[in-house]
Amino acid sequence: MTVWEFATGTASQTQQLAEQLARLLRAGDLVILSGELGAGKTTFTQGLGRSLGVREGIISPTFVLVRIHPNLPDGHNPGGPDLVHVDAYRLATPGEIDDIDLENTLDSSVTVVEWGADRVEHLAANRLEIELVRAVGGHAPAAGPAAGSTPDPAVGPVPSGILDFADSFDTDEDDDEPRTLRLQAIGPRWDGIDFSVLGRPVNTTE
Ligand SMILES: Nc1ncnc2c1ncn2[C@@H]1O[C@H](COP(=O)(O)OP(=O)(O)OP(=O)(O)O)[C@@H](O)[C@H]1O
Ligand SMILES: [Mg+2]
Q: Measured from the CB, is residue 134 less than 6 Å from ligand 1?
A: no
176 C-beta closer than 6 A to ligand 1: yes
Contact 4, 182 (CB under 8 A): yes
pLDDT at 52: 98
Decide whether any atom of ligand 1 lies within 6 Å of the 42 Cβ.
Answer: yes
pLDDT (0 to 100) of residue 157? 55
User: Which one, of 90, 88, 157, 81, lies nearest residue 122 by Cα?
Assistant: 88
C-alpha of residue 180 to centroid of ligand 2, in Å: 16
Min mean pLDDT across 14-28, 74-88, 101-115, 146-160 is at: 146-160
Mean pLDDT of the chain: 86
Q: Closest Cα partner for 38 from 106, 117, 127, 134?
A: 134
Which residue has the least CA distance to atom 18 on ligand 1?
Answer: 40
- 106-128 mean pLDDT: 95
When pLDDT is averaged across residues 84-88 and rounded to a whole number, the result is: 95
SS (H, E, C) the chain: CCEEEEEECCHHHHHHHHHHHHCCCCCCCEEEEECCCCCCHHHHHHHHHHHHCECCCCCCCCCCCEEEECECCCCCCCCCCEEEEEECCCCCCHHHHHHCCCHHHHCCEEEEEECCCCCCHHHCCCEEEEEEEECCHHHCCCCCCCCCCCCCCCCCCCCHHHHHHHHCCCHHHHCCCCEEEEEEEECHHHCCCCHHHHCCCCEEEC
Residue boundaries of the structural domains of the chain: 3-205
Q: Residue 166: pLDDT band by 50, 70, 90 thresholds?
A: very low
Give me the pLDDT at residue 203, please. 93
Residue 60 near ligand 1, beta carbon < 6 Å: yes
Strand order in the sheet with 179-186: 66-69, 82-87, 109-114, 30-34, 127-134, 179-186, 3-8, 203-205
Please tell me the least confidently modeled range out of 56-70, 81-95, 186-200: 56-70
Asked if the 3-205 domain carries CATH number 3.40.50.300, the reply is yes
What pTM did the predictor assign? 0.84
Among protein residues, the one with the nearest Cα to ligand 1's atom 16 is 40
Q: Whose CA is nearest to atom 2 of ligand 1?
A: 11
Over residues 38-55, the mean pLDDT reads 97
The closest of 60, 52, 68, 49 to 87, measured between CA atoms, is 60
Q: Give the distance (Å) from ligand 1 centre to CA of residue 13.
A: 12
Rounded to an integer, the average pLDDT of 134-144 is: 54
CA of 186 to the centre of ligand 1 (A): 25
- Angle 13-82-74 from CA coordinates, rounded to 5°: 85
* Å from CA of 134 to ligand 1 middle: 10
For residue 167, the model assigns a pLDDT of 46
146-156 pLDDT, tens digit each: 444 444 555 55
What distance in angstroms lies between residue 10's CA and the mean position of ligand 1's atoms? Answer: 9
